[in-house]
């Protein structure tokens, strides 16, 4: 009989985020499929609000590790808290929301507990009483479905694979778990983020706007129009509130020290060595990547592309609609219409 634990860090005074609620729903579904119950483990400076927010989810127990020392995401403190919670629950399968905080400690905690870990889990199933997961290999180019004999089995569940758990908040009965720290030599000193008006990565945006190296190439009049490209792209992001993605070739130009689109960094890159963002819609412009570099598209719902090349790897067979057109001209018009709608 499996013992399932949903495990998540918390922010003091805040309910769980949607990706955690999705992982909770996945854990609950797995418990149902296996005909067993599930418990919850939460840690942070004050997990009370988070626990109360999911009080009615049907968990058998809610374990918490509480303390100011667990407020910030650090390997040393987070791994100690997570390991203590797993031990307290006697968990054989532990599921948490994929994200920088859980992914940072997942495998280390599994090792400490004598178990195994799998990240980037995109599906869960049960066959003849045995749970199996789906995850990607070789940078999203092939999907494997696997089960493991070792326990505990720690999983990082990707967002978007299940609807978030919804239910009424309440007053959770929590069981405090002691966690003694020693030898912590690191501390979080802050967060560096771009100015609000320069923030181009918006994980919650409805639309992913992907820019390709075509924006930096010579245009039909033989001129390179970097300034115009910058204006078109930034205007669109401001008006649409889209998140900005980039092809590898475009951010690599930046890394080579060439003066191009200064707001693009490797963090914008989608694809093989970049991120695989999840947005309901995606619009690719001036992208000319070969097939392997387009894997960043895989988790985008509706996809459209603007390209002068009808055989572009980002478009044919990958997008729902391909507009064979000059993105400079189209995006100027798009921005005009969006500005008109916004009354600016």
Question: Quick check: helix, strand or coil at residue 133?
Answer: strand
- Taking the CA atoms of residue 313, residue 318, residue 324 and residue 329 in that order, the dihedral angle to the nearest 10 degrees is -90
User: Contact between 71 and other proteins (CB under 8 A)?
Assistant: no
Candidates 172-180, 197-205, 215-223, 227-235; binding stretch for other proteins (CB under 8 A): 197-205
x-or-dash string of contact with other proteins, 14-53, rule CB under 8 A:
----------------------------------------
> Shortest Cβ distance from residue 168 to other proteins (Å)?
26
Q: What sign results for the dihedral spanned by CA atoms 218, 252, 120, 61?
A: negative
Which one, 191 or 344, has the nearer CB to other proteins? 191
User: Contact between 142 and other proteins (CB under 8 A)?
Assistant: yes
Q: What angle do CA 98, 101, 107 make, to 5 degrees?
A: 75
Cis check: omega of the bond before 315, within 30 degrees of 0: no
User: Contact between 322 and other proteins (CB under 8 A)?
Assistant: yes
Closest by CA position to 154, among listed 181, 127, 180, 120: 120
Among 194, 217, 224, 342, binds other proteins (CB under 8 A): 194
Give the footprint of other proteins on residues 120-139 (CB under 8 A): 120, 127, 132, 136-139
Among 129, 144, 169, 301, binds other proteins (CB under 8 A): 144
Distance CA 56, CA 171 (A): 9
> Shortest Cβ distance from residue 63 to other proteins (Å)?
22
Residue linked to tokens 């109360």: 52
Give the footprint of other proteins on residues 233-292 (CB under 8 A): 240, 255-257, 266-269, 272-273, 281, 283, 290, 292
User: Contact between 338 and other proteins (CB under 8 A)?
Assistant: yes
Task: Mention every residue, 6+ apart, whose C-beta is less than 8 A from residue 246.
Answer: 210, 211, 212, 264, 268, 269, 270, 274
């Amino acid at each position: 009989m499996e013992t399932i634990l949903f495990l998540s860090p918390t922010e003091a005074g805040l309910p769980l985020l949607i990706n955690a609620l999705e992982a909770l729903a996945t854990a609950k579904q797995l418990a149902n499929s296996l005909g067993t119950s599930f418990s919850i483990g939460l840690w942070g400076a004050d997990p009370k609000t988070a626990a109360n927010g999911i009080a009615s989810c049907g968990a058998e127990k809610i374990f918490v590790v509480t303390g100011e020392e667990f407020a910030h995401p650090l390997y040393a403190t987070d791994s100690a808290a997570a390991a203590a919670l797993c031990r307290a629950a006697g968990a054989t399968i532990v599921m948490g929301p994929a994200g920088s905080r859980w992914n940072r400690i997942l495998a280390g905690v599994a090792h400490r507990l004598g178990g195994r870990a799998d990240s980037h889990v995109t599906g869960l199933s049960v066959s003849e009483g045995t749970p199996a997961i789906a995850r990607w290999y070789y940078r999203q180019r092939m999907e494997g479905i696997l089960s493991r004999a070792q326990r505990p089995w720690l999983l990082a569940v990707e967002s978007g694979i299940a609807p978030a758990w919804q239910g009424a908040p309440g007053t959770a009965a929590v069981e405090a778990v002691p966690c003694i720290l020693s030898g912590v030599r690191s501390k979080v000193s802050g967060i560096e983020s771009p100015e609000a008006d320069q923030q181009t990565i918006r994980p919650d945006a409805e639309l992913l706007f992907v820019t390709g190296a075509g924006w930096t190439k010579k245009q039909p009049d033989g001129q390179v129009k970097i300034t115009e490209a910058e204006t078109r792209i930034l205007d669109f992001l401001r008006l649409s509130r889209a998140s900005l993605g980039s092809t590898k070739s475009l951010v690599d130009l930046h890394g080579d020290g060439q003066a191009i689109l200064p707001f693009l960094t490797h963090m914008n890159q989608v694809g093989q060595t970049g991120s695989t963002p999840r947005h309901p819609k995606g619009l690719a412009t001036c992208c000319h990547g070969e097939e392997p570099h387009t894997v960043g598209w895989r988790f985008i719902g509706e996809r459209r592309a603007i390209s002068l090349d009808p055989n572009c790897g980002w478009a044919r067979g990958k997008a729902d609609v391909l507009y064979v057109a000059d993105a400079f001209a189209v995006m100027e018009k798009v921005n005009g219409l969006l500005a008109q709608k916004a009354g600016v």
